[in-house]
Structure 1
Amino acid sequence: MPRWVKRPEGSNWGEFGDDDQIGRLNLVTPDKIRAAAAEVRTGERFCLSLPLDLPGGNVLNPRRYPPTLSPTFRSGDRPNMNYNLSQDNPDMIDVICDDVVVLHTQYSSQWDSLAHVGQEFDADGDGKAEIVYYNGFRAGDHIHSPDDINGSGAERLGIENMAAAGVQGRGVMIDLEGAFGRDFRMVGYEDLMQVLNTDNIVVEEGDMVCLHTGFAQQIMEMNGVPDKEKLHHSCCALDGRDPKLLNWITDTGLSLLIADNYAVEAHPSREGHGSCAFLPLHEHCLFKLGIHLGELWHLTPLNSWLKKNNRSRFMLTAPPLRLPGAVGSPANPVATV
């Protein structure tokens, strides 16, 4: 039986195959990789990840906490940190350290998997809505809750599919902070076109679009003690309610959408009408089009270099952790110019 007989309006379900789990990453073809490699001219590299213990605390999201590191233990509860093996065998002089981390996968610089956001949608066409995700994968059958027989996790659409695809391609930087500063602003289609035209930026099919707002740089400047009010009321975020902006995302064929802010789009969004998605741009990208979202990346140093050198394009290498069943992952992306 097919997973769906009706797909959401404006979606691309099935266009990359009935069992596709990587969405618009399919558009990053070998030719696109060669075009990305052609952007490497000086060989300089930029780490685009925040330290994974930032922003600090849990003021941005009360459900997410910074990672905690601790040592593994030997027999007798002896921690493997500066552990001299001569304690076990006098002939051994080696000293070892070994640790374990408890990590919230979407605390800091991150990727959203296509299992991150779904919707109650009548995919069977019988007038009854089911919980479904990109390409019709279903809650219970493919995306499991803790009370399911198979336990919690994404049997389909997990972040490991993105990792196995090899996330590498041409990045395109759009400097929203340079155009609008650090005051809070919902950026719609007209604003975005203004920046693209002023900065002579062209987005082509398969490109990995990065939005620089200065938000992550503010987090760096706060040095682990984030100011909740300032962060929640500063910098640009996309207006997920703007239909022309959503159409632009569809029509460009961009493969990935990345920002240095909290959610790429404004959160909370503007009030909608009718069937009102909680995060409309997440719905459009993750649920309908299979576009992975990158959030809280540290883009400012790279953006400054690109501006100084009159460039907007670069080679981007950004695989997530190959962690089966995860719905998100820390990101440690590298840009090469």
Structure 2
Amino acid sequence: MESIYPRQKKKKDKKPLFILAGVVIFFGVFIYLITRPSNQSKALKDLDISFNRKDVEMVWYKYKSDLYQDEDFLFAIRTKLASFNLTEKEEEQCISWLPVAPKSINLIVIPDLSRRIIDTINNPNQTKNDLYVLQTIWKSFVNYSKLKQNTKDRLIIDVTDIDQARGQFDNVANDLQFDLSNHTGKSNLLFFTDEKTTQFNKSIVEMYKLAKQKPLGADYRFYLRRYLKNHLKKSTLFDNYINKIVIITDGYLEPENAPADTKISGYEVPLHKAVLSGSILNFITSNGLNIPKVNINLSNAEILICEVNERKSGKGYDFDVLQTYWEDWFKRMNVKKINFIQREQANELTADRIKKFILQ
């Protein structure tokens, strides 16, 4: 018997249609995401049509919040700016708004190889002390650099006198320069081999051995004017250099066969009185006794003067006078930071000051 109720049509299952639609939408979104220009690609395109440094600066600030840690974008920004052949002032302005470039240390050490190294009366064991200071500098430089990569750290040991530079010092000069500029793509630790340390220690001993054969005056004014300018490193769009200069000296500036630059001789009594009254600089300046300034800009340099040791004739006054002379001289050349330390009874005290100066 047929049912008196009408036959219902079988309901069609639409689930496959929903699945298909979902798949289509998913792939559509996926294709959109992978083909949509990224912030980096948009930034690089904007950079490509930048025609001056102001355009580049606008691109930087436009994408800075998203791309400030993007090394490829930062490199492209620096490269674009470099293509404009900027003046020194324009480059400095760009550096002021760019993220700070990787920091590298440029460590320049100038030991005083004058007669102080054979003066057993005023400076007993001076060579031994100097070698200890130099070895401390080497160890501090190694510790500063060894765990980094792709830095341009450099250490150079130099001499003040042109006759020494042209003489036998030439034989060891190359062995007292350590430059990591070309040590790229690998850890700096691989640069500092045992052979490098042996080379350094052997060369400084040889340097002092040669200097003792012909100790000359320590003409630092000449050195600053002739040599230091060429050894300083200037920060660029790609590099952030800090120049650190270590001068190892007893503090007396005496070119060979010339009066002392500090002009202490002949003014001992009034200078000693000025020490007691705290008016050393005023006395020096009012009498025109300041060390003549060298035409060099040391605003990106920090200086450590160590092993300062007044002579017995100084009667306890010369250290203050020497410190005033050196600090006044370097301040007039815009030195960023000056450290002036005396020869300590315990070498470890000097070592601690050196480590702090280099590692900070």
TM-score where L is the length of structure 1: 0.23
TM-score where L is the length of structure 2: 0.22
